[in-house]
Amino acid sequence: MARPRDENKIEAIYEATLKLVLETGFNGLKMADVARAANLATGTLYIYFKNKEVLINELYYHLKKNKTLKMLEAFDAKDPFVVAFKKLWLNYLTISLAEPERMKFIEQYTHTGYLTKKTKQQSDQLLQPLEEFLAIGIKQGLVKRLPVQLLLSQLMGPINESVKLHYDQTLKMTSSLKEELFQMAWSSIKA
């Protein structure tokens, strides 16, 4: 059976799944509920996604991809490195703050065992442009000479944590705080 092409339905399923996972949490996710929320019959769901695992994995990749592409929109090859870096960094933070739902979902499933090796690899692929970008910084002597994956993780870790604090209401993200956080990030990786 070739994958059918009704992109509207796929989108509806993604929306429904996202919503339900956030509401009922991880374990509460039932295929029947997803179907209902997407205004489909249970069986129809299985026409579009072979099974639950596939649904989760594809949604995960879908969200991750969207997020990454969105972040990269801020990139202008003509900018000097530091300018470009700041634009990207801020953009990533902004996106993460703007779409808490999607963020949370990603977080939620990252360490679950639900995610296939393949999905994880594909997702990591998405970060390649960023890794290449950092490599340029290193070559220009602006960034610490460390593995790009490590640098990336050191950048993303703090951002993700900040966003969580923002969600928890532990902290309100202001633009001056953003600036502060950026300074911290840059201080940590600059050569």
Interface ranges with a second copy (CB under 8 A)? 2, 24-28, 41, 43, 104, 107-108, 110-114, 144, 146-147, 149-150, 153-154, 156-162, 164-165, 170-171, 180-181, 184-185, 187-189
Using CB under 7 A as the binding rule, whether residue 10 contacts DNA is answered as: no
Interface with DNA: number of residues (CB under 7 A): 23
Structure tokens at 120: 């994880």
Q: How far is the CB of 115 from DNA (least distance, A)?
A: 15
Q: Note whether 160 binds DNA by CB under 7 A.
A: no
Please tell me what DSSP assigns to residue 143.
Answer: B
Q: In whole angstroms, how close is the CB of 41 to DNA at the nearest point?
A: 3
- If one asks whether residue 11 binds DNA (CB under 7 A), the answer comes out as no
Residue environment code for 98-110, b if the CB has 16+ CB neighbours within 10 A, otherwise e: ebeebbbbbeebe
How many Å apart are CA 31 and CA 136, to the nearest integer? Answer: 45
Q: Which long-range contacts (CB under 8 A, 24 or more apart) does 80-83 make?
A: 81/136, 81/137, 81/140, 81/142, 82/142, 82/186
- In the complex with DNA, which residue's Cβ is closer, 43 or 80? 43
Q: Is 41 in the site for DNA (CB under 7 A)?
A: yes
- Residue 52 or 120: the one with the smaller Cβ distance to DNA is 52
Taking residue 115's Cβ as centre, other Cβ atoms within 10 Å add up to 17
Q: Using an 8 Å Cβ cutoff, are 31 and 19 in contact?
A: no
DSSP 155: H
Cβ 172 to a second copy, closest distance in Å?
10
Give the pair of three-digit tokens for residue 149: 């994956």
Q: Which is nearer to a second copy, 65 or 178 (CB)?
A: 178
- Which spans of this chain sit near DNA (rule: CB under 7 A)? 1-6, 9, 28-32, 40-44, 46-48, 51-53
